[in-house]
Chain A
Amino acid sequence: MSGSKPDILWSPHHPDRYVICDSELGLYRIGPVGGTETKPGTLPLSEETAATLLAINSDTPYMKCVAWYPKHEPECLLAVGQANGRVVLTSLGQSHNSTCKELVGKEFVPKHARQCNTLAWNPVDNNLLAAGLDKHRADFSVLIWDISSKFAPETSVAAEKIRISTVDLDSSMVVTKPLYELGQNDACLSLCWLFRDPKLLLAGMHRNLAIFDLRNTSQKMFVNTKAIQGVTVDPHFHDRVASFFEGQVAIWDLRKFEKPVLTLTEQSKPLTKVAWCPTRTGLLATLTRDSNVIRLYDMQHTPTPIGDETEPTIIERSVQPCESQIGSFAWHPSSQNRMVVVSATNRVMTDFTVFERISLAWSSTTSLMWACGRHLYDCAEDSAEGAESTVEKDIATKMRERAQSRYGHDTLQVWRNHLLAGGNDPQLKSLWYDLSYILYVSHMKQCAEDMELKLQGNKQSLVYSGIKNIIRTSSGTTESRRCWIGSDRQTDVPRFSSEERCLALRLCGWISRGPDIDVETFLRSLEQEREWERAAAIALFNLDIRRAIQILNKGATMEKGDLNLNVVAMALSGYTDEKSSLWREMCSSLRLQLKNPYLCIMFAFLTSEPGAYDGVLYESSVAVRDRVAFACMFLSDAQLPHYIDKLTNEMKEAGNLEGILLTGLTKDGVDLMESFVDRTGDVQTASFCTLKGSPGEVLKDPRVQCWIENYRNLLDAWRFWHKRAEFDILRGKLDPSSKPLAQVFVSCNFCGKSISYSCSAMPHQGRGFSQYGVSGSPTKSKVTSCPGCRKPLPRCALCLMNMGTPVSSCSGPGKSDEKVDLTRENKLSQFNNWFTWCHNCRHGGHAGHMLSWFRDHTECPVSACTCKCMQLDTTGNLVPADSS
């Protein structure tokens, strides 16, 4: 059998031994590579493993097929099928066992010689060995031998035996009478015993697959097919069988044997081996001729809620265990996904483990899971709360937490939303303060109570449009030079003021009301928040150097105060406007070493020339609102719009939410928000922000709609259905166009009219219920008949009462305004009384009854209806994650 393809068999009991059979049998032991020195005779199989040749057996020429005896003892007994149909038992290595001696050398000879194609040991009754032979006109092709049978010479046959064969055999070792003979006048190309019953033998015959039952050999079950080679039963799914023909693999289900349940994509070259992985369900490996890859088919049944006939999903891929062409391969019986591959020539072996596909799932709550082989990995975000975690939380986690804390929903104290967001994001803080100022100011104007602001109605929109637009319309700017407060020294710093600049300062939060620039309230609030440096800087910019020093002093003396502030105060007190003083020189150079940006800009302001405040204006760590307020005070009409434009573009590019102050909630603001969302992915803030105050045109922007929809989807994905409903309500208030129309109507079976619609439209409803015998007090009564045609409404399948809506709170026509305010008490009907029905079987009843029924049942409550209503509803069994 030289030149024929090699094959590999793993020992059924020793996980480290296998046999290679080509022209001879070679037994190998596989083990780890032993240190640095390699023993002579070991063959490296992979980086970690090597094989040692233990024994060679070349006693059996004309080998066609080999099968390993499945019993523990004798452990190394092999059945070899030969080209002339004889089956010989042989062994590898030494075994002094007496049963082994009895068996080794035993021959099983068919009546008519022809090639033995396949051998299969019975997995339960280990004495039975099935041999599949080629066709003979007068003989059987499936012979089942009993290896324990003693040779019982039949007289007639014995006489003829003398002539048979050329090889002189000890006749006691030759068995000529098989236990069973099956498949007359046919050829058998492949065989396997079925796991589901050890009396069943599946055989790939000439043009059909046949299942022989040893209990009744005259009957067989068969199916005509071409795919008759290499039949093999899935070890994990005993009804699943694979067989092949040329390049095509057919998968059969023995329970539905008429045709293959599926056929795999055809290969261009003929297949040589097909094998199920014994350690992994549904994994089939195939090998074609002249190929250096093994194709793997991963067949997994995906469960579907509805028991439809669905084909299993098959994932096909190839692995290349070695460079050379593969002669054969064999899965390791116990080691996961491992196989040994032997090359087509030169018997080069490779130990190879198929790397399992990784399946990965990302949950909506930011935990990531992946599975590889039998391992499941969970990657959750570090939930070290409070402590300064080195890694910033993922935006999805943040949004989820914020959604839970009702972020965005504080419509009265808008600025508080930044606290709901966690209160540690300066940009969000700035944003919500901006929004609260904008809303406050616009509210003021809308109420027109603030008579001091005699702005025309057409200027109202300016507030929304941000400082950038407010400044652009600025006119009537006055310039003034003022003294340092508390000193009569004239400053040479010109200060500008106008109505618009004043409004801008308000939006910046520096002043609260009135034309006078009085920052004292603001300074006090800053002191409360212990923002000493900022307060000092603002005091200084208002030319109150004394107040600034006082603030710094206060800051230094407070508990846990920074004593360095005193030093700064000292430095500040030495201010001189002398251009060439040492103070000025030192301050302008040393100020850069100050860590606090506000301290830094204080000195920048004091040491800069009037009108050239770049040190202040472009200090990026200073809050935008302070810089803008500063600019509004000290930049001329020529400089100011230029600076604001520049800053706006900077903010837009960076997606810095502080820039909302400049852009307002306009198109510019949406642009800015877009780059913010691009940078952070925070659609939550974007949704709430754009909803909050922006006029209709902004809400119509497709980007805005996209954020809102995405945020709603996120809430759905988190099962925050109540939160989503709240959001939708809020959205409906702010953007009435987003309110969905009623989508579901309950219509009467008889007249087809919507029962709720006609309920409110019907003028004489009183007669409606009294006529149909709804007794008791009117407050408890319900409309249990169609208000249109007066026919009764359907009955609940459980309580058998007619369904209906309580009439008591059913407001009469014309009072529809009240319906807007649907608080819990005012609802027309409790959810438990709602109409529900299955879209499949059309049975239904009160929602509460149905829910409680399906808590314990799967089938419809209507007798004789087998509809599994609840299972049809894929989301029906989910519970909201925000049970509020």
Chain B
Amino acid sequence: MDLIASWLGNTPDFAVPFALAALGLIITERAGVLSLGAEGLMLVGALAGIGAQLAYGSAELSLLIAMLSASVVSILFAIMVVLLRINQVIAGLSLVFFCQGLTGLLGTLWGWTNRPVSGMSSISLWPLSELPLIGKVFVQNPVVYLTPLIFLAVVWFLTRSGTGLRLRAVGENPQAADSVGIPVLWYRVAAILAGAALIGLAGGYLSVLSTKLWIADMTGGRGWIAIALVIFARWYPWRALMGALLFGCVEALIPQLAAAGIRLPQYFILMTPYAVTLGVMIWVAASKRAGGEQPGALGIPFVREERR
């Protein structure tokens, strides 16, 4: 019982980075930009968050700096795919490698590796936190409570606001959007920067609030898993949140199994998130509906007056 209670209690903490990164990816990809750089941007957010936390000691400020620095680095990506029209797969991959190299280098040079930080104290939602079994779910740091609100705001923005409608139009049919005077390229740049901010927040959350220290390559493929999650969620934010909870469950189970003393080969347990991702990808592909909900112009650079 205790085991299940602490498993459930840990799930939101593990789910938040997946959820925020997937949400950032959805914003970017809804504007028609295939964003493979999530892994790298998360690393940038994680390193910047730790750096700010070590320098200023304020977790709120560090998360803001994490968002900001991921956005700044994503300007490079925006230049590559929007201005220079580089193949978006190559641009995304090189962004990941660039960020891996950069964060590995700076983390070591500036001595931020393996230095624990305090994080944020958790808030308990009083009557709920006393519930049996699921009580621990309601003792979380503030960002966990903030996450559904961020989702709500993004969903409202994408589906109810005029700007969100135009952003989706840019991703579905940029030629049509252009013909009614929407600045396609600027919308895409804005979507890249906004998405990167959320992905950076996911990274900052991971280092500042979750593991509470920085290690090179600490995201361990979570950015890639978030990309798989977005495909699984068919670019719908709420489904992405559900998927993130699923992955949160899987990840939260890993330490629990070890604590319970279940004799399973350790490294096979560590494989589970990746195996589950692979399984989810296969399941999505096998149950693919006709058409699919992928944004119509995903991954295709927009060039006005260009005939293809």
Question: Are A and B bound to each other?
Answer: no
Residues of chain A touching chain B, judged by Cβ–Cβ distance below 8 Å, are none
Could you list which residues of chain B lie within 8 angstroms of chain A, going by C-beta atoms? none
